Homo-oligomer: A and B are copies of this chain.
């Protein structure tokens, strides 16, 4: 089969779209013939973390397609089922943190940027009928991350004021949709006027310039909840927007890992800073129920054929997208 394979060199230079051996499902596993796949920031990190000396790896975490082989002992899934993939391996129930051995599809195990992927049967979910193949293929990683950050960790409630700095990413657009569907008032920031404009179209109550004075732009409104995934570039500006006793959930640091934190301001503010990443199978199931109930569709940025992976990675590295970037497979 054809697949996007990483080998020999760190970064995108190590990627090639080439033939690689087909895999067969073992007991408890299924094989999915993929129709679409979704690109995530994680895939960029994978190209740094997967070593040139490691065996060749098919990257990619998100995807959707049709079951075309079923391993022994799998009873509730049949060949022909239309499914989307939950890429979290080995984290079943909602908990403080993933258990030992938790992995995400695409490193160290072969991922979804291929004609087929073999995964545990518990990692496929029936595709909601109202979603297109494109929407189903880009959903899981970002929507699950957003779901855990906003609901399990942030405990969003109707009427809360929620700030989402950096509205471009796939996760951020899900956060906006999920928070609005929950009845929150939602503020977003972006460096791009175009993204601010689109965010308001998508339901944001206010969209402000990331580079400006946030206090002024928000008219002094303080936030119950900030969901921060930009990192160092906005971390302290985000924290400054919290009301006393407010909560900031952090799950990303694409714009820098290390920040200066003033502890005294933090404890006088009685703030809560909560780290989050991915989510469990239980949260994935809840997330799919939530989007079906509210008929939420991923915001689609652009779909590429898998052979044009270079353009897709470049678009994400420049943070040019609003919403999800995905691949058509064959």
**Residue ranges of A at the interface with B (Cβ–Cβ < 8 Å):** 95-98, 231-232, 235, 243-246, 250-253, 256-277
Indicate if the CB atoms of B277 and A274 lie closer than 8 Å. Answer: no
- Given contact pairs A235-B263, A258-B260, A263-B232, A96 touches B250 in the complex (Cβ within 8 A): no
Closest to A275 in B: B267
- Given contact pairs A96-B270, A270-B97, A272-B275, A257 touches B264 in the complex (Cβ within 8 A): yes
Q: Could you list 16 examples of A-B contacts with CB < 8 Å?
A: A97-B269, A98-B244, A98-B270, A231-B263, A231-B264, A250-B266, A252-B267, A253-B263, A257-B264, A260-B261, A268-B275, A269-B275, A271-B275, A272-B272, A272-B275, A273-B273
Residues of B within 8 A of A267 (CB): 250-253, 275-277
Docked CA distance A245–B266 (Å): 20
Residues of B within 8 A of A261 (CB): 258-261
Indicate if the CB atoms of B271 and A262 lie closer than 8 Å. Answer: no
Docked CA distance A275–B273 (Å): 9
Indicate if the CB atoms of A274 and B272 lie closer than 8 Å. Answer: yes
Residues of B within 8 A of A268 (CB): 275, 277
Closest to A243 in B: B97
Contact of A273 among B245, B257, B272, B276 (CB under 8 A): B272
Indicate if the CB atoms of B277 and A270 lie closer than 8 Å. Answer: yes
**Top-5 shortest CB links A-B:** A96-B245, A97-B245, A267-B275, A97-B244, A97-B270
Docked CA distance A236–B95 (Å): 24
Docked CA distance A243–B277 (Å): 15
Docked CA distance A270–B96 (Å): 7
Residues of B within 8 A of A98 (CB): 244, 270
Docked CA distance A277–B256 (Å): 30
A258 to chain B, nearest CB (A): 5
Docked CA distance A247–B295 (Å): 36
Docked CA distance A73–B221 (Å): 39
Indicate if the CB atoms of B264 and A270 lie closer than 8 Å. Answer: no
Closest to A267 in B: B275
Closest to A231 in B: B263
Docked CA distance A99–B98 (Å): 37
Task: From A96, A231, A277, name the one whose CB has the most chain B CB atoms within 10 angstroms.
Answer: A96
Residues of B within 8 A of A271 (CB): 274-275
Docked CA distance A275–B248 (Å): 12
Residues of B within 8 A of A95 (CB): 245
Residues of B within 8 A of A269 (CB): 97, 275
Residues of B within 8 A of A244 (CB): 96-98
A309 to chain B, nearest CB (A): 25
Docked CA distance A166–B232 (Å): 30
A62 to chain B, nearest CB (A): 20
Indicate if the CB atoms of A263 and B258 lie closer than 8 Å. Answer: yes
A141 to chain B, nearest CB (A): 15
Docked CA distance A263–B236 (Å): 12
Task: From A246, A253, A266, name the one whose CB has the most chain B CB atoms within 10 angstroms.
Answer: A266
A215 to chain B, nearest CB (A): 18
